[in-house]
Structure 1
């Protein structure tokens, strides 16, 4: 019996709804990175947008979206690994070579995305860190959860140790600030008027800068991978009705922890800009590592609880096709937004204020919903999903939907 990818009728609709919702959150969170040199604005700790409504939009994005959705996709990635492993082993195949090939293909897609489309890519990191899931495949769910908690604690401990000696000091450094402004100016110049070759070089620089300055994200991503693996090993996604108590407790705890920590995230970031004190920078980073996973759990459990009511399941069903082709839609977001903002497209980089980012999201995401429904009415998989599956299984998968005749 040949091993084939999961067919559309075998999919778990609630997971597709969660993926579709995550794509909306990812688009909202990424708009600042598409439209402005936000990574270097953060580096300079400068109040870049002064209008009150722009500030409100930034605060809402920070509260609702920042670090809440790459964590959600990380959890789903870990769950997907368990689903892939169980299905592969049930067919009598070895998981390691097949999953490794799947990751190598994802790595290739991520490299194309990161260096030729947009530097904020997460796929390359997922592909590399995905190999770390393999040693956990035979561990118990309790062991996996213990590792997840330990990995989540690592950045919190390191951040505290790093900042502890100077919490009462100001973090202003003239040389650091001068460098940050130089990076801001170069980004604006290259992305708004540079050639494709210039932009590619800038993308490479941005990706390396993000990687070096976001190394603490690695244990968080791994922790969320393992939370997803824990869910998969306990088959919670298959037996939602049997885990109502756990889901409801998670909803309450994540709400009670997530909302205050997200408020602290917004408050400390704003205080960091106005006071320049190191303590607020520390609080800002710590709150991100708490609020991100907490509100991620809150969103997921909210969608699960709502989906158990038929009326809400019908209301949320529009998200499922978007989630079924999440990889294609993720890449499409980058293609559309870089075309809007980069010089080889409309050249709007650093010219669009945060209020208009919301307008772009309000137009682009419904178009993705419509596109996903139309595409999946004719085809089994999204275009990139089809290619990924075909290369993984080394055979071209049927793409068109079977005829009803």
Structure 2
């Protein structure tokens, strides 16, 4: 993810990787806009009417879900570290000004468009980065691994009761009811979410504004996982991988080893859900907790492959690099386009499409990014929201 200022010498493959990350995020965000919340994690909850929808879920779970979020967070960490390493007067103050402006942008984004906004979580996690910036590459990777384990431990503590109740055939417990409302097919919950998804623009802003304090709990709970990815990106930058300093063979080997661990594990978790019939008590913890280490590994594999093969300029990599240079603007404009398709003040297709149809409609913002980013970069360089972020942080610092 880009930061308010650009490094003195841009790394072409890194820009292309940013482009891949922001494009890949659309593959899951489209389901958040198109379907009720539980369907994001569980194809049985809503929107799966045929075999193709379950194949879309499987492909998304194994190759997309949280992998590109990991990349986005890693690159956010790289951008922050670059600016901290540039120094200047009071670099900590400038960094915290950037995080404050980013949090405000994310808050507006979450209130008006996308309740699943990640910018707020990145801004909060970013408060710790000046304390970590002086660590070595190896120490940063170790911190990232530790934070990832904290996330898994906390997640199992939160969801463990539902999993135990499910396997002990207990019915109607609070843990199972909570899981069913959030990750299953509770008819009342789905009906309420469908009605909520069709509310007017003003009503939505009022509801989300009132929920801002409650959202902080969710943001805090996401900090270990997001900070793990951000710190990992910083470590891989210091190690030279994301600077483009590693040889192609080494990058391929890292990608192969990471994928060799991650893919069988993710397929096994998917098989577990299918074998058990997608119970809500398992769908939540599998998607949010148990898959997290393997999502991170596959994100590293994607990063290594991009650094290995995206360094030379051609039509594809130039387009991806342009998308990446406008990653903040493209991330936000994706929400504008998806809202125009699915929100009631747009085409109103929320809850009216299947899983595969939603994924197909996700090609619209991807095409828009690919088409508009190269001419914008060629003529103006920075995107409008990158400029807003930079200028807002400059004023505050």
TM-score normalised by structure 2 residue count = 0.86
Partner of 1:247: 251
TM-score normalised by structure 1 residue count = 0.84
Task: Quote how far apart the aligned CAs of 1:261 are.
Answer: 2.0
Question: 1:205-224 alignment to 2 at 5 Å?
Answer: 212=217, 216-224=221-229
Query: 1:342 aligned to 2:338?
Result: no
1:344 to 1:375, Cα distance in 2 relative to 1, 3 A: same
Task: Quote how far apart the aligned CAs of 1:38 are.
Answer: 2.5
Task: Quote how far apart the aligned CAs of 1:237 are.
Answer: 2.9
> Which structure is higher in RCO with an 8 Å CA cutoff and minimum separation 6?
2
1:330 to 1:47, Cα distance in 2 relative to 1, 3 A: closer
Task: Quote how far apart the aligned CAs of 1:368 are.
Answer: 1.3
Partner of 1:260: 264
Partner of 1:65: 64
- Cα RMSD of the aligned pairs, angstroms, is 3.0
Tell me, which stretches of 5 or more residues in structure 1 are unaligned? Answer: 396-405
User: How far apart, CA to CA, are the structure 2 residues paired with 1:352 and 1:114?
Assistant: 23
1:338 to 1:272, Cα distance in 2 relative to 1, 3 A: farther
Query: 1:320 aligned to 2:321?
Result: yes
Structure possessing the higher radius of gyration over alpha carbons: 1
Question: 1:377-396 alignment to 2 at 5 Å?
Answer: 377-394=378-395
Task: Quote how far apart the aligned CAs of 1:120 are.
Answer: 1.1
Task: Quote how far apart the aligned CAs of 1:244 are.
Answer: 4.8
**CA distances 1:224-243 after superposition (whole Å, capped 9, x unpaired):** 111111123334333524x5
**1:126 equivalent among 122, 126, 129:** 122
Tell me, which stretches of 5 or more residues in structure 2 are unaligned? Answer: none
Task: Quote how far apart the aligned CAs of 1:210 are.
Answer: 6.9
Task: Quote how far apart the aligned CAs of 1:280 are.
Answer: 7.2
User: How far apart, CA to CA, are the structure 1 residues paired with 2:325 and 2:129?
Assistant: 23
Task: Quote how far apart the aligned CAs of 1:279 are.
Answer: 6.4
Partner of 1:53: 52
User: How far apart, CA to CA, are the structure 2 residues paired with 1:209 and 1:320?
Assistant: 37
User: How far apart, CA to CA, are the structure 2 residues paired with 1:81 and 1:370?
Assistant: 28
User: How far apart, CA to CA, are the structure 1 residues paired with 2:64 and 2:210?
Assistant: 25
Partner of 2:23: 24
Task: Quote how far apart the aligned CAs of 1:37 are.
Answer: 1.0
Name which of structure 1's ranges 359-368 and 340-349 shifts more when overlaid on structure 2: 359-368
**CA distances 1:131-189 after superposition (whole Å, capped 9, x unpaired):** 01121122233322221111111122334455288273347537544685434222211
Task: Quote how far apart the aligned CAs of 1:258 are.
Answer: 1.6
Partner of 1:110: 106
1:41 to 1:137, Cα distance in 2 relative to 1, 3 A: closer
Partner of 2:89: 93
Task: Quote how far apart the aligned CAs of 1:284 are.
Answer: 5.2
Name which of structure 1's ranges 250-259 and 153-162 shifts more when overlaid on structure 2: 153-162
**CA distances 1:264-290 after superposition (whole Å, capped 9, x unpaired):** 23223334435x495676555544212
1:374 to 1:314, Cα distance in 2 relative to 1, 3 A: closer
1:365 to 1:80, Cα distance in 2 relative to 1, 3 A: same
User: How far apart, CA to CA, are the structure 2 residues paired with 1:6 and 1:178?
Assistant: 44
Partner of 1:303: 306
Partner of 1:401: none
**CA distances 1:38-74 after superposition (whole Å, capped 9, x unpaired):** 2377589736523111221122112211111111111
Would you say the 8 A contact 1:74–1:224 is kept in 2? yes
Task: Quote how far apart the aligned CAs of 1:392 are.
Answer: 2.1
Task: Quote how far apart the aligned CAs of 1:314 are.
Answer: 4.9
Aligned length: 383
Partner of 1:292: 295
User: How far apart, CA to CA, are the structure 1 residues paired with 2:245 and 2:314?
Assistant: 14
Secondary structure at 2:291 match in 1:
helix
**CA distances 1:60-101 after superposition (whole Å, capped 9, x unpaired):** 1122111111111111111111111112x1xx3221110111
Would you say the 8 A contact 1:269–1:280 is kept in 2? yes
Partner of 2:6: 6
Task: Quote how far apart the aligned CAs of 1:350 are.
Answer: 0.2
